Amino acid sequence: MVTLTPTQQKFLPYVLAVALFMQILDATILNTSLPQMALALGESPLKMQWAVISYALALAIFIPVSGFLADKYGTRRVFLSAIVVFSVGSLMCAASPTLNILIGSRIIQGLGGAMMTPVARLILVKSYPRNQLLTVMNFAVIPALIAPLVGPVLGGYIVQYASWHWIFLINIPMGLLGFVMGRKLVPALFEDTQRLDWTGFLLFAAAACGFTLAVEFGSQSGRGVYGLLLGAIASILIGAYVWHARRRAAPLFPLG
């Protein structure tokens, strides 16, 4: 357990709340603005769904490795790097002239978000005693729970009264605020690490990717069969990961 200064103890949950809010907001804010974005980019509204799917896939693929990176390189360094990557990805999304570039930029955004959210929770777990953890988690997580409610409404207002670019540009001031506060308040926590379990990472990431696509295709008319097939493949991959983890001394996610 790390010893926090009184300032860190008081304000650290709010720093992490900014990161959680920013990441979750970006997962939902596009939903009501895709038709206007499709019109501006000259694409079919159906194709624009890949701007949402690519972000979700990046989260699913890279979240499993975030804990390893935080343990090896330190929570402070990884958290601040995640904010920078997420903000740069947001800027690239706003500047995207085509759908393909937007999808690539969303993947970069997702990479930052995949490191930002789990590492933020890890910092809280390692920084506070158990008897304070529930209260601290509430401070950090409850503001983030507002994001799914605010996202669609905010996205609709932005495209109606400004332009779709501001859907991504609003992340820049939040990212700057999170970075400045993070430099002062986020502790640098390390853990002893072994080699990254690449086999476990590939199995788990592929399973997470499969489940994410299964949900996406399952919610689309006429693609339910693809959703079921992907869900079945992902279930097999999860089973393969469990088999692998039982036979490895230091798996990516210990089954215990």
Reported as a single tens digit per residue, the pLDDT across 100-142 is 999 999 999 999 999 888 888 888 888 888 888 888 888 777 7
Taking alpha carbons only, the member of 46, 42, 51 closest to residue 168 is 51
Question: Distance (Å, rounded) from C-alpha 100 to C-alpha 135?
Answer: 43
Q: Maximum Cα–Cα distance for the chain, whole Å?
A: 57
Question: Distance (Å, rounded) from C-alpha 168 to C-alpha 92?
Answer: 9
> What does the pLDDT look like over 24-59, one tens digit per residue?
888 788 877 888 889 889 998 888 888 988 998 998
Cβ–Cβ contacts within 10 Å for residue 32, how many?
Answer: 19
> What does the pLDDT look like over 157-173, one tens digit per residue?
888 888 889 999 999 99
**How would DSSP label each residue in 31-100?**
TTTHHHHHHHHT--TTTTHHHHHHHHHHHHHHHHHHHHHHHHH-HHHHHHHHHHHHHHHHHHHHT--SHH
Helix extents (H) in the chain: 6-28, 34-41, 49-73, 75-94, 99-127, 130-145, 147-161, 166-169, 171-185, 198-218, 224-246
Taking alpha carbons only, the member of 181, 63, 200 closest to residue 121 is 63
